[in-house]
Structure formats: C-alpha cells, structure tokens
C-alpha cells in the first residue's frame, strides 16, 4: 500500500512538471533589470530636407530606408508632429529624423540637423 502511495505522488509530480513545461512562457527569462532600452537614435533615419512649409506644417524629405515602417528610400512629404520642429531646418540640410504613422498620415516626430 505504501508503494502505491509513493507511486501516486511521484506520478502526480511528474505530470505537473510536464504540464508546466507545456505552459507558454513557463521558462521564459525576463530581461535583466540593468539592461537599458535601445537608444531613441536607433529609430532615426538619414535624410536631406527638400522643402519646409511652415504654413501647412509639412516637410519634404529625401530619405533612406525607414526600417520600422518598412518603407524604402524615397522623397516624400511628412506632416510635422510639432511645428517647432520645422524651425530647426531649411532646404538642403542633412538630417537624422524620426517618423511614425498617425492613422494613414506619416509624421515627423523628431529631427536633428547634421552639422
């Protein structure tokens, strides 16, 4: 009788370990607390300002590939998220900029002239 009890306990333990192994993320490791997030500059794209229109808040940029938007290199018009971004640049400036989607609109979220 004692051996049947030991067998039952052992079998139960084995089944619970097996079930835990099949639970998604059961053995996933969290990122270390001291690991810093990727710097914001990692999402910046190189470009050249073609036109700045402060009245409409739009800026035309010839840019390289924007990886996180899966966009190839091209020249296109962006809406500035904040009109003060347009005060930093003028046509002909080389820049690094951040872009994102707001619905169907593409917006410039950050812009840094390369001097």
Answer whether residue 29 is part of any domain: no
45 close to 65: Cβ distance less than 8 angstroms: yes
pLDDT at 2: 66
Give the CATH number, domain containing residue 105. 2.40.50.320
Answer whether residue 69 is part of any domain: yes
Answer whether residue 77 is part of any domain: yes
If you write DSSP's letter for every residue of 23-88 in order, what string do you get? Answer: STTTT--PPPTTPPPPPGGGG-EEEEEEEEETTTTEEEEEE--BGGGTB-SEEEEEEESSGGGGGG
* Residue 61 neighbours by CB under 8 Å, 6+ apart: 47, 48, 49, 50, 75, 76, 78, 95, 97, 108
Q: What is the pLDDT along the chain (115 residues), one digit of tens a residue?
A: 666 666 666 656 565 655 555 555 544 555 555 444 444 445 899 999 999 999 999 999 999 999 999 999 999 999 999 999 999 999 999 999 999 999 989 999 999 999 8
CA atoms of 82 and 108, how far apart (whole Å)? 8
Q: What range defines the domain where residue 59 resides? A: 40-113
Report the domain count for the chain: 1
């Amino acid at each position: 009788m004692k051996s049947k009890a030991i067998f039952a306990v052992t079998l139960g333990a084995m089944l619970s370990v097996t079930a835990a192994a099949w639970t998604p993320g059961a053995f996933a490791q969290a990122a270390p607390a001291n690991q810093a997030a990727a710097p914001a500059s990692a999402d910046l794209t190189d470009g050249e300002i073609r036109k700045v229109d402060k009245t409409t808040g739009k800026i035309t940029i010839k840019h390289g590939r924007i990886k996180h938007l899966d966009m190839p290199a091209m020249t296109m018009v962006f809406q500035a998220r904040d009109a003060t971004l347009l005060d930093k640049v003028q046509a002909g400036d080389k820049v690094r900029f951040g872009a994102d989607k707001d619905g169907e609109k593409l917006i410039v979220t950050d812009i840094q002239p390369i001097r």
